[in-house]
Structure 1
Amino acid sequence: MNHPYRQGASAADPFPEPGPAGPAADHRTESPSLTARELALFDLLSGQPGRLYSRSEILERIWGLAFGGDERVVDAYVNRVRRKVPGSRIETVRGAGYRCAPPDTLPGMAPPHPDAGADAWAALTRQVETLQRQALQARQDSEALLHLTHALEDARSVPAILGASLPLLAELARADACAAWYPSPAAPPAACLHRTGLPVPCPAGGPADAALRVEAAGQVLTLRPFTLLPRATDVPAGTGRETETPREASTLLVVAARCVALALAQSVLVSALERSALTDESTGLGNRQAFLGDLSTEVAYAARHGTAFAVALVDLGNIRYLNATAGYAGGNDLISRLARTLGGATRREDRAYRLNGATFALLLRLPPAGQPAALRGWQERSGLALAELRRSAPVPLDLYTSLVVCPDDAQDSSDLLRLALDRLSAAPPARPPFPPAATHRPADG
């Protein structure tokens, strides 16, 4: 009788004894002609589907370390197992070895028996298709979230952030459009966009109870995804859309909403920091940095479009005397009153700045036609306002003013500012200031 593990065995050996329980046990009654070594080979490969075994490893595990024959004996045994077990699914990896291919079913799904009917196989097919659709939808949702993060990197303002994010949020919510309230849900929505990016009317009634709310930096972002219900005449009969149920929102919707809320909070904080860096704390006007930036912008705009603007300076020359006599509180009060006076004399399109302790600058937009009349109007308004400030001041005020026009007087930011400083002259107490003649300010001013 042949021993099942004798060295160099190549003939088909009968079963010496019942083998261990495993995948091969199901084939013993169906394939009784498997020898012990063939059964051991089948158990090895089918025990771990997908794992690759080289010929030397198979020889070591099945034939033992003492085997000294040709490795091609493994090929012969694999062919025998394939012939005797048609469903063995043993694959040849050229130049590497053999492996048992995993089943076609997905994890958690038991394949139907080969003798099962068509209904069982159809149910399995439907399950596979459902899982494939879910996997595809999950990949699309992750791509949408990645696209959202890239869009938020380029958006800076609140409108830009909402414009880039609401279409993607509507897509993740499985809705047609999405409305956003930031920060107060009691007010009208900040934006309401379709999945295509086009604005749509927001449903009446404000945010619903089921609206999504996320908080970041103390501000609450409220989102209301909704579906645009078509009219009955717009839905073709028999299409099934009249009974279509809404799909469940993506699990990434909350994560995406959180990203949008953080981007909005960051934008608000950055805007506040920028305003603080460009605003004078005492008067609320723009500071010197804001003036220089806006002056460069106005020069570029005037050169490109052929427009004109004016730069006006107002300086309180005896501020040190005021601080010494009325105290620093009195001096600050006069500076604040001067800032309010200049703000009241300017139009909505004009801007006022505080350059330093008692020096103020103004950028005045001039119309394409009628520039002399616009300049005279500004001189009259500012002159009357400064004269009233002089009369109401507790101490005499030494006010110095100047006015230059771009591009008539200069076409460069540095030249305009230097010329305006050179033209600072004493304002008459009862007449409008900004005389055209340039008389320099006294040295002790």
Structure 2
Amino acid sequence: MTLPPDVTRAALTAKEEALFELLERHPGRLFSRAEILERVWGLDFAGDDRIVDAYVKRVRRKAGDHLIETVRGAGYRRPGAPPQQQSLPHYHHLSSDALMLLDLGRRILRVTSTDGVLQEVEATLAANLQLRGVALLTRPDGGHRAAGLPWLVRGAAGSTGIPWAELPSVEGYEPLYTPDWGVHHHMTALLPLAGADTVWGTLAVVGAPGVTWDVTIYAQLEAVASLVNPALRLNMEIDLRRSAEQELRMLNAGLEARVQQRTEQLLRAIQQAELLNLLSRQLEQASSVSDLMRLGLPVLARLTGYAACAAWYPHAGDHSPALGCYQQDGAAIDGVTAAGTRRGGVSVQCDVNGQTLTIHAFDPQGVQRSQPDTVPLLESAAQSIAVNLSRHLHMQAMERTALTDEDTGLGNRQAFLSDLSAELAYATRHRSGFVLSVVEVANIRFLNATIGYAGGNDLIGRLARVLDGVRRTEDRAYRLNGATFACLLRLPSGVNRISALRGWQDRLQGTLADFVASAPFPLDVQYSDTVCPDHAGGVSEMFRVALDSLQPLTGPPATDRRYHG
């Protein structure tokens, strides 16, 4: 320590000398009271920090006031010479390498991607070097390439034909220069990029074929690698984060799509279950085959999503008429054939009593659509209709057996009584009428005894065919018992009953006369006509009057006499 000439070491006490020495060694530095106490008195000082002010006054009194400067509210310092500022060289005085690095640093500040940084590096080095390209390489676990594993290419610029993943591996922090890499002997530089504690990647530079680099180029490459290291690390992490965010968005979108798809599938499943339950209830309510089609086919159309649904049983060909065809809203479509519904749609087939039931869902306008995913459900629903159709057909067969005479095929006595009651009710409601005609072979027992029962049965069958052939479509014929037959003829309201009856009598009696004349043995055919409500108004009364009015065919009919008597 150098004191002023008028101050000697003996003039200052030990603490005063230590205080002055602290400020002297650090000219211009500002020390607070706490810092001076800590450095001069020690950490264990527990007194008032104003003791520093007292000692500063003592040193000033002994050495001079100008040697210690007070900064109000902050502390004390030893005045020193103003710091000398070092002048920087002018931009135009920089070397070409410094200018290149400065320009590269400015340019990489404007890019926001790894490929952008590499493109700037490639463009900058291409001015001095003949390059094929530059790339940022990492290994799967970071840093250098793991043994036996290819490089991961995080970004590249320049030629697209460089096999970056096949470049040799790098160990440690030292760069690797390969003068003859690849089949074309490219000059290659692998420059490790280090972080705080490890190498996180490698900057690869590949020169043009036949180009050689010297130590000056190596230094330039290493300087460039050091300059772009932070930018590459930052942008690579940004790129990875963007990729992760994009992948996450794609995963979320895919998840949302799958959730939406599953929700739609669940809703469709609920709707299909409701339609199947509705179909089951509808089929239970069907009382006939026509009801079965009317109630079931619209549900099947809704189940498949098509506008309409038709059914054939049995399916005889392209031009066979449909058993029924209905739209989703239950509206019937008439005149539908298989050929008319061939375009588009979906068909299923089921077995019903050995015959094929075909159910076809389609769009009447011929709209083409992809195969629906409800075909398995359509098959199950069609099978339900097939089971119910089989049941109804079986019931119809049983009804026909119960109401049909097995020898002649005409209605039997039970069918006659049921239809006679229905005709009476219809005539009462509509104020119309009908005719009950009874035909009987009175000598059938004699014939059975003389020509045999086979001959008598043949006679009965011929008479049944005669009555079935002479009646109109709306008329009905029955075999009541033995050789007694009946016919029901409906007379619409407003029609002259006498004229209508005469027409029927002329037609029937002429046919019966031919039948009697063609018989090889004499026949006693009895005949009567009873008109409702003119002659009788009840089932029993009608039947009784008809039987009581039976007369031989050769005589005038009883009803005729009653109309004119």
Give the TM-score band, short-chain normalised: 0.5 to 0.7
Retained in 2: the 8 A contact 1:288–1:356? Answer: yes
Residues 381 and 252 of structure 1: CA distance in aligned 2, closer, same or farther (over 3 Å): same
Superposed displacement of residue 289, structure 1: 0.5
Residues 435 and 199 of structure 1: CA distance in aligned 2, closer, same or farther (over 3 Å): closer
Superposed displacement of residue 435, structure 1: 5.3
1:299 lines up with 2:424 in the alignment:
yes
Unaligned runs of 5+ in 2: 1-243
Distance 2:366 2:389 in 1: 33
**Residue matched to 1:382:** 508
Find 2:275's aligned residue among 111, 136, 144.
Answer: 144
Larger Rg: 2
> What is the number of residues matched between the two proteins?
313
**Residue matched to 2:382:** 257
**Residue matched to 2:266:** 135
Unaligned runs of 5+ in 1: 1-112, 232-241, 439-445
1:327 lines up with 2:452 in the alignment:
yes
Find 1:426's aligned residue among 545, 548, 552.
Answer: 552
Show CA shifts across 1:239-260 (max 9, x none).
Answer: xxx9x85642253221101001
| Structure of greater relative contact order (alpha carbons < 8 Å, 6+ residues apart) | 1
Retained in 2: the 8 A contact 1:219–1:265? Answer: no
Find 1:178's aligned residue among 292, 309, 314.
Answer: 309
Retained in 2: the 8 A contact 1:398–1:426? Answer: yes
Please tell me the root mean square deviation across aligned C-alpha atoms, in Å: 2.9
**Residue matched to 2:531:** 405
1:211 lines up with 2:347 in the alignment:
yes
Superposed displacement of residue 117, structure 1: 4.0
**Residue matched to 2:438:** 313
**Residue matched to 1:352:** 477
Retained in 2: the 8 A contact 1:172–1:250? Answer: no
Distance 1:216 1:275 in 2: 19
Give the alignment's TM-score, normalised by structure 1. Answer: 0.64
Superposed displacement of residue 381, structure 1: 2.0
Show CA shifts across 1:251-282 (max 9, x none).
Answer: 32211010011122222221122112111111
1:163 lines up with 2:300 in the alignment:
no
Distance 1:437 1:298 in 2: 24
Distance 2:500 2:469 in 1: 16
Distance 2:387 2:261 in 1: 35
Retained in 1: the 8 A contact 2:298–2:329? Answer: yes
Retained in 2: the 8 A contact 1:208–1:224? Answer: no
Range with bigger deviation, 369-378 or 157-166: 157-166
Between Structure 1 and Structure 2, the one with more helix by share is 2
**Residue matched to 2:322:** 189
Query: Identity of counterpart residues, as a percentage?
Result: 46
Show CA shifts across 1:64-108 (max 9, x none).
Answer: xxxxxxxxxxxxxxxxxxxxxxxxxxxxxxxxxxxxxxxxxxxxx
Range with bigger deviation, 128-137 or 274-283: 128-137
The one-letter code of the counterpart of 1:413 is: V
Give the alignment's TM-score, normalised by structure 2. Answer: 0.51
Distance 1:173 1:125 in 2: 27
Distance 1:126 1:188 in 2: 45
Other structure's SS at 1:251 match:
helix
Retained in 1: the 8 A contact 2:437–2:487? Answer: yes
Superposed displacement of residue 423, structure 1: 1.7
Other structure's SS at 1:211 match:
strand
Distance 1:228 1:295 in 2: 43
